Structure 1
């Protein structure tokens, strides 16, 4: 399973879903699904934009956890 840490990273920077959507140009629904960890797939461009905005590495945003 892949865990998304977007909500934690956004919380650390006190950002709202709307702020992230506006700053990255990524659809608000996509950000919401990542935030709530209900996304099934994500474009690499979306990951790139989020990492740039949040000043983090892919490994900080996404984590593989074994089950």
Structure 2
């Protein structure tokens, strides 16, 4: 996957648990776990906004694009 999720890093920097973030954002633990482990296929802007608000960060602190070296160019 070309989008890397750094949610675990931001949680550690803010000394916040997944449980606490789940309560603040209103997401289930299962959905946060899917996002945190890079298994999510999409994220709503409202969810991203809630996470950024709870962690006092920018979307770029959580999301990173890495070019997939194995992908064919169009």
TM-score, with length taken from structure 1: 0.90
CA distance in 2, matches of 1:5, 1:63: 8
- Corresponding residue SS for 1:3: strand
Gaps of 5+ in 2: 69-74
Q: Pick the structure with greater CA Rg.
A: 2
Identify the residue that residue 3 of structure 1 maps to in structure 2: 4
CA distance in 1, matches of 2:17, 2:39: 17
Identify the residue that residue 24 of structure 2 maps to in structure 1: 23
Gaps of 5+ in 1: none
Identify the residue that residue 13 of structure 2 maps to in structure 1: 12
The runs of at least 4 consecutive aligned structure 1 residues that moved more than 3 Å come to none
Aligned pairs for 1:1-67 within 5 A: 1-67=2-68
CA distance in 2, matches of 1:42, 1:18: 19
CA RMSD of aligned residues (A): 1.0
Looking at secondary structure, tell me which structure has more helix per residue.
1
Q: How many residues align?
A: 67
TM-score, with length taken from structure 2: 0.83
